[in-house]
């Protein structure tokens, strides 16, 4: 019998050459008849750190080589293009279920906009 509980989390980031950063976090929690959607964005530009959250609807699309996210309430849009193969590991498992870590893009090129500020980062070459 499948579990009545499910938690799916997405974590996407972008760090530019000068050190500015954006972290986008999205989660979907399902438990019986309850469904909660959560999104958060943390941005660092120079010495300015801002964080915003929302429990409103969002759009998150993924394919084998691309992730697109749109968080209208947070004024965030982003696109991550894969530059390396995905990695998947089961980090915990018992009779009730499992925790599976699925890194779709361990390395990617990114374009993400938070408000009027756009951050772009190209994947670093393998070393």
127, part of any domain? no
Q: Give me the phi and psi of 54, to 5 degrees please.
A: -155, 150
CA pair distance 93, 58, nearest whole angstrom: 30
What pLDDT, in 10s, does the model give residues 60-108? 999 989 999 999 999 999 999 999 999 999 999 999 888 999 999 999 9
Residues written for the chain: 127
Distance in angstroms (rounded) separating the CA atoms of residues 99 and 102: 10
Tell whether 126 is covered by a domain.
Answer: no
pLDDT class of 1 with cuts at 50, 70, 90 = very low
Question: Mean pLDDT in the chain?
Answer: 90
- Structural domain for 105, as ranges: 5-121
- Single pTM value for the model: 0.84
- Split into its structural domains, the chain has a count of 1
**Residue 73 dihedral angles phi and psi, to the nearest 5°:** -65, -25
Whether residue 16 is contained in a domain is answered as: yes
The structure tokens 């959250």 sit at 53
pLDDT in tens, 50-62: 999 999 989 999 9
């Amino acid at each position: 019998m499948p579990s009545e509980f499910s938690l799916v989390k997405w974590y996407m980031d972008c760090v530019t050459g000068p050190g500015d950063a954006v972290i986008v976090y999205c989660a979907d929690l399902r438990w019986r008849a309850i469904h909660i959607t959560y999104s958060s964005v943390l941005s660092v530009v120079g010495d300015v750190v801002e964080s915003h959250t929302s429990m409103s609807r969002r759009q998150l699309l993924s394919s084998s080589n691309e992730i697109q996210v749109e968080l209208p309430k947070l004024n965030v849009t982003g696109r991550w293009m894969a530059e390396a193969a995905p990695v998947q590991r089961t980090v915990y498992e018992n009779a009730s279920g499992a925790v599976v870590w699925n890194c779709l893009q361990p390395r990617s090129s990114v374009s993400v906009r938070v408000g009027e500020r756009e951050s772009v980062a190209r994947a670093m070459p393998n070393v």
